Amino acid sequence: MRKLTNILVTGGAGFIGVNFIRFLFGQGTVAPEFKGRIVNLDAITYAGNIASLKEIDEKFGGTRYFFEKGDIGNRALVEAIFRKYDIDTAVHFAAESHVDRSILGPEAFIKTNVLGTFTLLDVARSAWKKSDGSFGSDVLFHHVSTDEVYGSLGETGYFTETTAYDPRSPYSASKAASDHLAMAYHHTYGLPVTLSNCSNNYGPYQFPEKLIPLMISNMLEGKPLPVYGDGKNVRDWLYVEDHNSAVWAIMEKGRAGETYNIGGENEWENIRLLNELIDVVAAKSNSDAPAAQAVAMRSTITYVKDRPGHDRRYAIDCSKIKAELGWKQAVSFRQGLERTVDWYLSNKEWVNGIRSGDCRRWIEENYGKR
């Protein structure tokens, strides 16, 4: 088991990063054994919200939790952080993460996902290299990636760790490039690197541009529910805490140089998922007639122009991480959806705050009002 003492978390103010830090500090439903320090490096783009970690900052700020605002591509800053906090572990979540945005403006994806990852890897290599050029077993760079690097499946089959890369959007191409760089740093320089490719996450603190939080927010505001194309694209959904427990298992026990697929084993066509979500939201709204409310929400489903190059189906075979590291999903889809809807119902301020800014403006500018 690795010691994992001074951990640099990049992108710790985004959806998965916030949940990861909360998980490590025992604020989720599972509390891992973690006694070390976290340094959260985040540029606070439109997708980052540091207020999501207010309680952690109040309780652990200055002792076990530190926030550094900045760009992962800023080499001098990253070097200073490695020195100042004596970083022994990096877990790299920071990214531009939204496929639609990558189609409309790929440049930021190349800068952050490709060049930013390169900078982090290169600084880790210089900081951790011993005088004989080797690395100790107490350092680790864990790179967080996506199943989208594998491309699109037909009606059958699964992505495994040996599936050939076939990225098809600027987002997935930039993530694929960063995965290759991470593994190249392992093979060429011996840097201890682990890599995970995960399916679609959902849960609290997700920016409401992604399918599930967008639909919940629109339902609560009585807005149309935009479904791309025929609504039959399939995604494999995983509750965010299950992703984070998998990342933690890899960091503790995963073998350097290995890739681990993480997934929900939980495939849903988008339209079927939306109908399920409508039932959950209707049941939790204060209406006397949830069935009638669900019918009203269904009437707002609007089929819109498809996403260009829209991958048809993703499905993950995660038997390797289950067999090798003993990880498994803990939250069923219905439970996860209920927790997520409860969270969005009790955190309207968070949603309004983040939505009133860039996201709402960006959606309206690029897709019209919806």
Under the rule (CB under 6 A), what is the footprint of ligand DAU? 97-99, 146-148, 199-200, 210-211, 214, 226-228, 233, 235, 270, 307, 314
Binding mask 1-20 for ligand NAD (x = CB under 6 A): ---------xx-xxxxx---
Does residue number 94 form part of the binding site for ligand NAD (CB under 6 A)?
A: yes
Q: Which does 168 bind (CB under 5 to 8 A by kind): ligand DAU, ligand NAD, none?
A: none
Distance (Å, whole) CA 370 – CA 358: 15
Taking the complex as a whole, the smallest distance from the CB of residue 180 to ligand NAD amounts, in Å, to: 15
Does residue number 47 form part of the binding site for ligand NAD (CB under 6 A)?
A: yes
Q: Which is nearer to ligand DAU, 200 or 244 (CB)?
A: 200
Does residue number 198 form part of the binding site for ligand NAD (CB under 6 A)?
A: yes
Does residue number 112 form part of the binding site for ligand NAD (CB under 6 A)?
A: yes
Q: Which residues contact 7 (CB under 8 A, 6 or more apart)?
A: 24, 36, 37, 38, 39, 87, 88, 89, 90, 91
Distance (Å, whole) CA 210 – CA 190: 37
Assigned token pair, 236? 């494999």
Identity of the amino acid at 369: K
**8 A C-beta contact, residue 343 and residue 204:** yes
Q: Which does 186 bind (CB under 5 to 8 A by kind): ligand DAU, ligand NAD, none?
A: none
Q: Strand runs (DSSP E) across the chain, as ranges?
A: 6-10, 37-42, 65-69, 89-92, 140-146, 193-198, 200-202, 225-228, 234-239, 259-262, 267-269, 301-304
Does residue number 263 form part of the binding site for ligand NAD (CB under 6 A)?
A: no
Piece in contact with ligand NAD (CB under 6 A), picked from 39-47, 122-130, 219-227, 307-315: 39-47
Taking the complex as a whole, the smallest distance from the CB of residue 24 to ligand NAD amounts, in Å, to: 15
Taking the complex as a whole, the smallest distance from the CB of residue 358 to ligand NAD amounts, in Å, to: 11
Q: Which does 88 bind (CB under 5 to 8 A by kind): ligand DAU, ligand NAD, none?
A: none
With CA atoms as reference, report the closest residue to 14 among 144, 196, 183.
144
Taking the complex as a whole, the smallest distance from the CB of residue 99 to ligand NAD amounts, in Å, to: 10
**8 A C-beta contact, residue 74 and residue 116:** no
Assigned token pair, 51? 């207020």
Q: Which does 15 bind (CB under 5 to 8 A by kind): ligand NAD, ligand DAU, none?
A: ligand NAD
Q: Which is nearer to ligand NAD, 17 or 282 (CB)?
A: 17
**8 A C-beta contact, residue 236 and residue 147:** yes
The pairing of beta strand 267-269 with beta strand 234-239: antiparallel
Can you give the length of the chain in residues? 370
Q: Which does 42 bind (CB under 5 to 8 A by kind): ligand NAD, ligand DAU, none?
A: ligand NAD
Q: Which residues contact 50 (CB under 8 A, 6 or more apart)?
A: 13, 42, 44, 57, 67, 69
What is the secondary structure of 90-107 as a DSSP string?
Answer: EEE--S---HHHHHH-TH
Taking the complex as a whole, the smallest distance from the CB of residue 304 to ligand DAU amounts, in Å, to: 7
Taking the complex as a whole, the smallest distance from the CB of residue 281 to ligand NAD amounts, in Å, to: 20
Q: Which residue is nearest to ligand NAD (CB)?
A: 14
Taking the complex as a whole, the smallest distance from the CB of residue 166 to ligand DAU amounts, in Å, to: 14
Q: Which residues are catalytic, by number?
A: 147-148, 171
Q: Which residue is nearest to ligand DAU (CB)?
A: 146
Distance (Å, whole) CA 119 – CA 110: 13
Q: Which is nearer to ligand NAD, 5 or 45 (CB)?
A: 45
**8 A C-beta contact, residue 43 and residue 77:** no
Chain positions contacting ligand NAD, by CB under 6 A:
10-11, 13-17, 42-45, 47-48, 71-73, 93-97, 112, 116, 144, 146, 175, 198, 200-201, 207
